[in-house]
């Protein structure tokens, strides 16, 4: 594994431990940790990415933190953004952003101030402003509260019965 540091552009085509620079491009490769202003991943992946702008095409990231992020035909585990997040034909476990835009995507949890969701599925949606078309949401906030209360009551009853 290698460590790269550069103030201009860093291209990676194989496996790397840490990549640092102003612009980092990973093409058909991977990295454990990436820290840069701009990160582009094409048919590759990274465990951890910290950047201003992240663009992923047919790739994946385990944990990402960015000002703006765009994932197309890829996946991300945890994506936190102070600005906007765009998922196009992509999947995310958790997406936290000021603005979320999902198109033909799936997400476990989406928490945003404003969300625009088209032709997608979301497990739990927490947003102040929602613009949706053809969306399947498993839990809205009231449904999640009701589910939590019912699950708590069932677990309490099971605990009482098992003590006897």
- Whether the CB-CB separation of 75 and 89 falls below 8 Å is answered with no
Give the range among 83-87, 97-101, 140-144, 154-158 with minimum mean pLDDT.
140-144
Band (1; pLDDT cuts 50, 70, 90):
very low
pTM value is 0.76
Count H helices and E strands in the chain, helices first.
1, 9
CA 50/CA 80 separation, integer angstroms: 10
- Whether the CB-CB separation of 77 and 93 falls below 8 Å is answered with yes
Res 119 pLDDT > 90? yes
For the residues 138-158, what does the mean pLDDT come to? Answer: 85
Residue-level pLDDT at 43:
94
Residue 19 phi/psi, 5° resolution? -120, 130
Length of the chain (residues): 164
């Amino acid at each position: 594994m290698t460590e790269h540091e550069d103030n201009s552009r860093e291209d990676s085509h194989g496996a790397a431990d840490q990549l640092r620079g102003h612009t980092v491009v990973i093409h058909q490769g991977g990295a454990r940790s990436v820290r840069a202003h701009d990160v582009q991943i094409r048919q590759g992946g990274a465990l951890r990415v910290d950047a201003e702008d992240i663009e992923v095409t047919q790739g994946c990231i385990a944990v990402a933190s960015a000002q703006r992020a765009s994932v197309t035909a890829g996946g991300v585990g945890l994506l936190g953004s102070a600005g906007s997040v765009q998922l196009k034909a992509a999947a995310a476990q958790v997406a936290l952003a000021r603005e979320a835009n999902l198109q033909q995507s799936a997400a476990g949890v989406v928490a945003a101030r404003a969300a625009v969701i088209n032709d997608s599925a979301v497990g739990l949606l927490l947003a102040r402003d929602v613009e949706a078309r053809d969306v399947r949401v498993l839990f809205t906030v009231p449904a999640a509260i009701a589910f939590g209360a019912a699950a708590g009551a069932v677990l309490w009853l099971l605990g009482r019965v098992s003590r006897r």
